[in-house]
Amino acid sequence: MLLRPLLSRAKLLGSRPSSSLARLAPLLRSQSRPYSSSVDSSVEPIRGMDLGVAHSKLLLRTVASMRGNMELQAQGVSEGDSKKMNMCQAINDAMRHTLATDDTAVVFGEDVAFGGVFRCSVGLAEEFGNERIFNTPLTEQGIAGFAIGMAAIGHTAVAEIQFADYIFPAFDQIVNEAAKYRYRSGNEFNVGGLTIRAPCAAVGHGGHYHSQSPEAFFAHVPGLKVVVPRSPIQAKGLLLAAIRDPNPTLFFEPKILYRSAVEQVPTDDYVLPLSKAEVVRTGKDVTVVGYGAQMYALENAVQMIERDMPGVTCELIDLRTILPYDADTVAESVTKTGRLVVAHEAPRTQGFAAELAAEIQERCFLRLESPIERVCGLFVPHPLVFERFYMPCAVRCYEAIRRSLAY
Catalytic residue list = 140, 210
Expressed in percent and rounded to 5, the helix, strand and coil fractions of the chain are: 40, 15, 40
What is the arrangement of strands in the sheet containing 225-227, beginning at the earlier edge strand? 133-135, 105-109, 156-160, 194-200, 249-254, 225-227, 321-323
Task: Give the closest residue to 23 by CA, choosing from 51, 48, 53, 3.
Answer: 3
Sign of the C-alpha dihedral computed for residues 236, 122, 252 and 194 taken in this order: negative
∠ CA 121-275-316, rounded to 5°: 95
Phi-psi region of 52 (alpha: psi -120 to 50; beta: other; left: phi over 0): left
Question: Within 13 Å and on the Cβ side, how many CA atoms surround 323?
Answer: 22
Q: Which residues of 258-285 are buried (b: 16+ CB within 10 A; e: fewer)?
A: bebbbbbbbeebbbbbbbebbebbebeb
Task: Give the closest residue to 98 by CA, choosing from 316, 323, 249, 315.
Answer: 249
Strand pairing class (340-347; 314-318):
unpaired
Position 190: which residue type?
Answer: N
What's the rounded Cα separation, in Å, for the pair 156 and 191? 9
What's the rounded Cα separation, in Å, for the pair 224 and 330? 21
Strand pairing class (82-86; 262-266):
antiparallel
Q: What does DSSP assign to residue 235?
A: H
Asked whether the bond before 324 is cis by omega within 30 degrees of 0, the reply is yes
What's the rounded Cα separation, in Å, for the pair 339 and 367? 8
CA 172 to chain centre: 23
